[in-house]
């Protein structure tokens, strides 16, 4: 099932639970604006190459729109639309004063030099600068982009609008970025996992964890679980998968991955088939890589007691139904991985105030926000007698619908 189809399915279930009428449902679903631009750049060899860029701005009823920009060969309007909609519900669940947006360029950043990436980013910014802004739409890094990409967007945007550090988040610290932002998604995953386990009389230190993905989110999640005495027994990335039932030495693994480009060959673990990692026996499974990895084919073989979705849309609806029958508790992505956008909000606040926080305050506020969001989702589950996923979707849709009605959407 394609991401947009799955997202719309959950949205319509939430609409039915809330009793929202068809006119308001349509208004909530249709994006505020969809942008498609051609970006032509000179390559280092003097030839010209064209790329297609997208920006979908889904909803601004609760504030400026917020969402990442990804550089990936498979970026397409359907995917960007689904992710923009998810950002609307995610920011509402986290109670951030934002709406949702998402963007991307169809390219393989590994095939482009640093100079070509800079030219592409600047051309893309030139094409969309008049529809993004500090009070309009605030991009951030995503797959294939990073703090340097945000620095280029900030510089190009500022040529048109004056110096505006709050126009993007996830920036380098020297340009107004926030301490704690790089690790925020992984740290948020651990905070909300801790809250989930506490509800079931468990703690991080007594549980086993398996993590699919060892990129930014996966390796920070593993690091913080290791520091909390959790036993991370298996991890995987694009190079392979490794396992140690006694618990992997995460600091040593991180050092190995940096030196060797991945986890393959780590001497303190045994290699396993990467395709089997989702079926490893563990207390908590954390998919932190691509979407759609848990589906109707493999869900029946999952042995975890809890699934915490650090990736976007890792679980297909068919797998959700199987997990519900098996009694596996799934903490949905729009709550579990909201740490990144939450600290992006903190960065935006700091930029607007011109007053920067220390890392202790950032992490304390992140824990407060994401724990409160978890409690709100639990209350929504009790009110509507539904799963955590539908509790989160129902909460997010309700908050956006309420803001839309209060602002006078039919006028």
Could you list the active site residues?
102
Instruction: Please check if 376 is assigned to a binding site.
Output: no
For residues 14, 15, 17, 22, the Cα torsion angle rounded to the nearest 10 degrees is -170
Does residue 66 have a known ligand-binding role?
A: yes
Contact 311, 337 (CB under 8 A): yes
Q: Is 216 annotated as a binding residue?
A: yes
- Strand 137-141 with 65-72, pairing: parallel
203 is in an annotated binding site: no
| Residues 239/289, Cβ–Cβ less than 8 Å | no
Helix (H) or strand (E) holding 54: strand 48-57
Number of H helices, E strands in the chain: 13, 12
How far is the C-alpha of 150 from the C-alpha of 326, rounded, in Å? 43
Provide the CA 408 distance to its chain's centre, in angstroms: 31
Q: How far is the C-alpha of 54 from the C-alpha of 106, rounded, in Å?
A: 9
Q: How far apart are CA 152 and CA 238, in angstroms?
A: 28
Distance CA 256, CA 364 (A): 30
Cα–Cα distance for residue pair 168/348, rounded to 1 Å: 8
Residue 41 makes CB contacts below 8 A (sequence gap 6+) with 48, 49, 51, 116, 119, 120, 123
* Residue 303 labeled ligand binder: no
**Dihedral of the alpha carbons of 385, 26, 37, 134, in degrees to the nearest 10:** -70
Burial of 157 (0-12, 13-18, 19+ CB in 10 A): buried
Q: Residue 238: exposed, middle, or buried by beta-carbon count in 10 A (0-12, 13-18, 19+)?
A: middle
Residue 229, sorted as left (phi over 0), alpha (psi -120 to 50) or beta, turns out to be left
Residue 91, CA distances (Å) to 137, 178, 183 in order: 13, 19, 18
As annotated, the binding site for NAD(+) includes 185, 216
As annotated, the binding site includes 66, 90, 185, 216, 344
As annotated, the binding site for substrate includes 66, 90, 344
């Amino acid at each position: 099932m394609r991401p947009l189809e799955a997202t719309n399915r959950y949205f319509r279930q939430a609409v039915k639970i809330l009793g929202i009428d068809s006119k308001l449902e349509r208004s909530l679903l249709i994006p505020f604006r969809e942008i498609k631009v051609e970006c032509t750049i000179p390559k280092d060899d003097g030839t010209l190459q064209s790329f297609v860029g997208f920006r979908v701005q889904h909803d601004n009823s609760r504030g400026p729109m917020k969402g990442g920009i990804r550089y990936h060969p498979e970026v397409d309007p359907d995917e960007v639309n689904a992710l923009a909609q998810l950002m609307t519900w995610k920011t509402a669940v986290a109670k951030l004063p934002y709406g949702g947006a998402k963007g991307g360029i169809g390219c393989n950043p590994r095939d482009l030099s640093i100079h070509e990436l800079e030219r592409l980013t600047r051309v893309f910014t030139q094409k969309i600068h008049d529809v993004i802004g500090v009070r309009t739409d605030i991009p951030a890094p995503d797959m294939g982009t990073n703090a340097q990409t945000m620095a280029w967007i900030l510089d190009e945007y500022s040529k048109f609008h004056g110096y505006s550090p709050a126009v993007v988040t996830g920036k380098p610290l020297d340009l107004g970025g926030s301490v704690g932002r790089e690790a925020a998604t992984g740290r948020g995953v651990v905070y909300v996992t801790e809250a989930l386990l506490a509800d079931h009389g468990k703690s991080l230190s007594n549980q086993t964890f398996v993590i699919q993905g060892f990129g930014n989110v996966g390796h920070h999640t593993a690091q913080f679980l290791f520091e909390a005495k959790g036993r991370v027994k298996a991890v995987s990335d694009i190079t392979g998968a490794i396992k140690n039932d006694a618990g992997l030495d995460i600091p040593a693994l991180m050092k190995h991955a940096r030196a060797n480009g991945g986890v393959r060959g780590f001497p303190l673990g045994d290699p396993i088939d990467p395709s089997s990692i989702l079926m490893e026996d563990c207390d908590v499974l954390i998919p932190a890589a691509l979407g759609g990895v848990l589906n109707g084919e493999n869900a029946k073989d999952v042995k975890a007691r809890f699934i915490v979705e650090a990736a976007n849309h890792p679980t297909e609806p068919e797998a959700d139904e199987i997990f519900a029958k098996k009694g596996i508790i799934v903490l949905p992505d729009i709550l579990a991985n909201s740490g990144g956008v939450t600290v992006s909000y903190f960065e935006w606040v700091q930029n607007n105030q011109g007053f920067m926080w220390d890392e202790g305050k950032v992490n304390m506020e992140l824990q407060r926000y994401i724990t409160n969001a978890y409690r709100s989702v639990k209350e929504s589950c009790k009110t509507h007698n539904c799963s955590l996923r539908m509790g989160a979707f129902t909460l997010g849709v309700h908050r956006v619908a309420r803001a839309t009605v209060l602002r006078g959407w039919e006028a």
